[in-house]
């Protein structure tokens, strides 16, 4: 993993479930080998607004949002911000949904119930865009 002294990775967490947001923040805070700055958006429209600043290194996108289906949201993000990597977050899932998300340009898919700090950090660091 990246060293603790390197620039932080700026993550946009797009999830409307406060307990899931808190759990993801907790997982990332436990990682000693890298530093993450986590911004939040509770909907696709809020995520699109936040991404206009163009300082996000990676998006963690929940599969269900109040204003968009996960695959629809992925398509919108990929078309408007094609250089920003998107990792999909899903519940225990459907293989076809994961396959579709990867075909549409998601860099990876994470089943939220099966993730730990190390795995989440490793996936983010592997895919985050950094100058």
Q: Which domains does the chain have, with CATH numbers?
A: 9-126 (3.40.50.2300)
The mean pLDDT value for 13-22 works out to 95
3-state secondary structure labels for all residues of the chain: CCCCCCCCEEEEEECCCHHHHHHHHHHHHCCCCCCEEEEEECCHHHHHHHHCCCCCCEEEEECEECCEEHHHHHHHHHHHCCCCCEEEEECCCCHHHHHHHHHCCCCEEEEHHHCCHHHHHHHHHHHCCCC
The mean pLDDT value for 88-103 works out to 83
Whether pLDDT at 61 is above 90:
yes
- The chain-wide mean pLDDT, for the chain, equals 91
pLDDT of residue 3: 47
The mean pLDDT value for 17-45 works out to 94
Q: How confident is the model at residue 131 (pLDDT cuts 50, 70, 90)?
A: low
Q: How confident is the model at residue 77 (pLDDT cuts 50, 70, 90)?
A: very high
pLDDT of residue 27: 94
CB atoms within 10 A of CB 92: 8
């Amino acid at each position: 993993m990246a060293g603790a002294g390197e620039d932080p990775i700026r993550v946009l967490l797009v999830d409307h479930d406060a307990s899931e947001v808190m759990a993801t923040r907790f997982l990332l805070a436990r990682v000693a080998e890298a530093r993450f700055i986590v911004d939040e958006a509770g909907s696709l429209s809020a995520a699109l607004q936040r991404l206009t600043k163009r300082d996000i290194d990676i998006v963690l996108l929940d599969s269900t949002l109040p204003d968009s289906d996960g695959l629809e949201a992925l398509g919108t993000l990929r078309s408007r911000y094609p250089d920003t990597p998107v990792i999909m977050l899903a519940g225990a899932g459907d293989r076809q949904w994961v396959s579709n998300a990867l075909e549409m340009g998601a860099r990876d898919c994470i089943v939220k119930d099966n993730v730990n700090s190390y795995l989440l950090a490793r996936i983010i660091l592997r895919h985050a865009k950094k100058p």
